[in-house]
A and B are shown apart, each in its own frame.
Chain A
């Protein structure tokens, strides 16, 4: 069981909630939260006895924090999915993600107290192409690994983690590949995309996707921190939906864009600041991605409380629909009445 836990990325949604949960656990002596900016309300209200250290993990200061606090468990969540989180555009984001993780790993490798390291990754590391198998297991070699953005950062980080695992086999290392996280509160690239007034899609493509509810994401992170699972594990809600189902169930309006024009539309949305999808994300809109979660349910031992469909429904509840779903049902009722002479 962890005694002193270090949580990176504590000023963000998952980091703050994870740190707060760990702080509420009395068997844990200290919880140290690190981030480049202090947490703001409402996240900061929950943190309680979490000791906040304002530090940039790219800075060797992180090693001092680990040494002085005698940290035994590190929960590394400060891997940003969009540039707005870190500020300063994609190059800063990449530096924070990759160089930051390298610094953290260097500190962990030197540390004598660290016994466990849990890192949040993404199912994006599997990339996306028409040559993909229907579902990726943790051991599938991706036919087309990601070439840009968050997914590429995560793939590179996983590479460094493998190196770390070889050099410090005594440290329990868990890598959680999370599917797209949605929920009533969390803000992600996907929720940003679905919040657009019209949702651009790729004409002639309807990608399959899996979703993970924010509560399940949190529960898995906590279980990994407290438990002793070692290795990589895919994390996603049961079941699969297509993008068109996501758009319809959330009452959005889809706008199919021909593939040659997709790059221009993406660029345009990026420029007006409405969207931060990397070029790799547009490939996801082509081919989608599904992962096998057998290992999560058996070896890791967690059954997500929300299926993909339930996570989507819970997210949609907090969303003001552009298209009223009841409208469709009422129209159908009216038509049915007209057709059957009112007997229905």
Chain B
């Protein structure tokens, strides 16, 4: 947040001289707070008019794992959750997102993702982040969630292999279910051009009412109304680290988190008057 031309100049000086710090994951707090978040804020406030509830369930300090549903063709929901936690939480927490390797393979996107606080969704990185006391965000549906068709909206896909639950158990950190309504409608996927996707090496190639027909204009997201709710934390500390090696317990806990998010989504959908208001 810059307050005047002086701060902006100081920021530019820091950038040009390289006088800023990054952490071992490549998170650049200076760039995130001064450029990335302010750029996303208009989208968050004016375009999607995001309403957040249950922010008090997110701890002010220390590690926690935020688990959310995934949708909307691109990971806009992840980015908006990050803005929500920074702007609405009294402690202005930075959410450290976990992304697929495709994100880090891509030029520009991969670079910005790391600088914005993302890292690869792998057990080593989750453990390292949680051990460092960070707030970690995971979208276990992965590409299956973002790439699903519009008619399957708000129906949760498989929650991976429960890797996130094992990670939380090993670190003994609470799991915070997060339900996001609104991202499903920003780019409604009517079809998937599988041949094109395979040619481009992508998990799917979305065909929406506007994309790719309108070119760059088709990349403008629809201004749906968003609701984000953080649920009560599910503690894992009492279960002990060895519980991570109990597949039955991991499966049950994964299902519990998934079911909580699914029920919350239905409740939030009833609360939202229409897709756009």
Contact = CB atoms under 8 A, between A and B. Distances in A.
B120 A328 contact: no
A135 B128 contact: yes
Given A204-B111, A240-B23, A344 B17 contact: no
B9 interface: yes
Contacts of B10: 332
Interface stretch (B101-109, B138-146, B195-203, B268-276): B101-109
A162 interface: no
B25 interface: yes
Contact of A133 (B9, B13, B103, B120): B120
Interface residues of A, number: 39
Interface in A288-344: 288, 290, 325, 328-329, 331-332, 335-336, 339-340, 344
B24 interface: yes
A249 B13 CA distance: 12
Contacts of A339: 4-6, 9
Interface string B222-237: 0000000000000000
Contacts of A206: 26, 111, 114-115
Contact of A130 (B18, B104, B115): B104
B17 A249 contact: yes
A329 B18 CA distance: 12
A128 B26 CA distance: 15
Contact of B6 (A132, A134, A340): A340
Interface string B136-161: 00000000000000000000000000
A259 B107 CA distance: 9
A208 interface: yes
A150 interface: no
A242 B110 contact: no
B12 interface: yes
Contact of A245 (B18, B24, B125): B18
Contacts of B107: 202-205, 259
Given A204-B108, A246-B18, A135 B13 contact: no
Contact of B26 (A242, A332, A340): A242
B22 interface: yes
A239 B21 CA distance: 9
A182 to B, nearest CB: 15
A232 interface: no
B111 A344 contact: no
Interface string A204-222: 1110100000000000000
User: Mostly helix, strand, loop or mixed at chain B's interface?
Assistant: helix
Interface in A241-262: 241-242, 244-249, 259
Contact of A208 (B4, B15, B108, B114): B114
B26 to A, nearest CB: 5
A287 B18 contact: no
A131 B111 CA distance: 14
Contacts of B28: 242
A332 B14 CA distance: 10
B18 A134 contact: no
A243 to B, nearest CB: 10
Interface in B28-76: 28
A205 B103 CA distance: 12
B110 A205 contact: yes
Contacts of A344: 6
A205 B120 contact: no
Nearest to B13: A332
B110 A241 contact: no
Contacts of A59: none
Contacts of A340: 6
Contacts of B104: 130, 287
A131 B128 CA distance: 16
Contacts of B114: 206, 208
Contacts of B103: 130
A208 B102 CA distance: 18
A325 B17 contact: yes
B119 A134 contact: yes
B9 A328 contact: no
Nearest to A344: B6
A27 interface: no
Contacts of A325: 17
A325 B14 CA distance: 10
A208 B24 contact: yes
Given A133-B128, A134-B128, A205-B111, 19 more contacts: A130-B103, A131-B122, A134-B24, A208-B22, A239-B21, A240-B24, A241-B22, A242-B22, A242-B28, A245-B20, A245-B22, A246-B18, A248-B15, A249-B17, A249-B18, A331-B13, A335-B9, A339-B6, A344-B6
27 contacts: A130-B103, A130-B104, A131-B101, A131-B120, A132-B120, A133-B120, A133-B122, A133-B125, A134-B119, A134-B125, A204-B109, A204-B110, A205-B110, A208-B24, A208-B114, A239-B24, A244-B18, A248-B15, A248-B17, A248-B18, A290-B24, A328-B16, A329-B17, A332-B10, A336-B9, A339-B5, A340-B6
